[in-house]
């Protein structure tokens, strides 16, 4: 009922840029979407999130470099990543959540896309 498909990951040199996309297919209303990442040996962490109203939240380490946006009509979220650093290397996951009805909610995850920053 809720499916997320990520794209845009790849290999880039330090200082380069990538743009990730997350296309959501859902029969339910999506309230918020976000990007998380997980590096080897580390826990998954929130990178950025955006509500249906456009309110955004960023991890401190990516402020000024990453920008999250959303096209509600297309049910698609984007993550523009600039000035990439080796420490940004991780698997990036898209998340979407919302309410089905009072007392019932959903949280869906994509399969992830690899981002590697290396010279």
Alpha carbons 71 and 41: distance in angstroms, whole number: 33
**How wide is the angle at C-alpha 48 spanned by C-alphas 43 and 49, nearest 5°?**
115
Calpha distance 34→50 (Å, rounded):
6
Task: Check residue 74 and give its pLDDT.
Answer: 87
Structure token pair of residue 43: 């826990």
Print pLDDT tens along the chain (119 aa). Answer: 789 999 999 999 999 999 999 999 988 889 999 999 999 999 999 999 999 999 999 999 999 999 999 998 888 999 999 999 999 999 999 999 998 888 899 999 999 999 999 99
Q: Which two tokens stand for residue 3?
A: 């499916």
Whether the Cβ atoms of residue 107 and residue 95 lie closer than 8 Å to each other: yes
pLDDT at 72: 83
Q: What is the pLDDT of residue 84?
A: 98
């Amino acid at each position: 009922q809720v499916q997320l498909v990520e794209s845009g990951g790849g290999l880039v040199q330090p200082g380069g840029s990538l743009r990730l996309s997350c296309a959501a297919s859902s029969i339910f209303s999506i309230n918020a979407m976000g990007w998380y990442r997980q590096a080897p040996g580390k826990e998954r962490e929130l990178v950025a999130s955006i509500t249906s109203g456009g309110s955004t939240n960023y991890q401190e380490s990516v402020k000024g470099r990453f920008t999250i946006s959303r096209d509600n009509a297309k049910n698609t979220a984007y993550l523009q990543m600039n000035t990439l650093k080796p420490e940004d290397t991780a698997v990036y996951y898209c998340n979407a959540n919302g309410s089905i009805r009072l007392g019932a909610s959903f949280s869906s995850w994509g399969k992830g896309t690899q981002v590697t920053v290396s010279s």
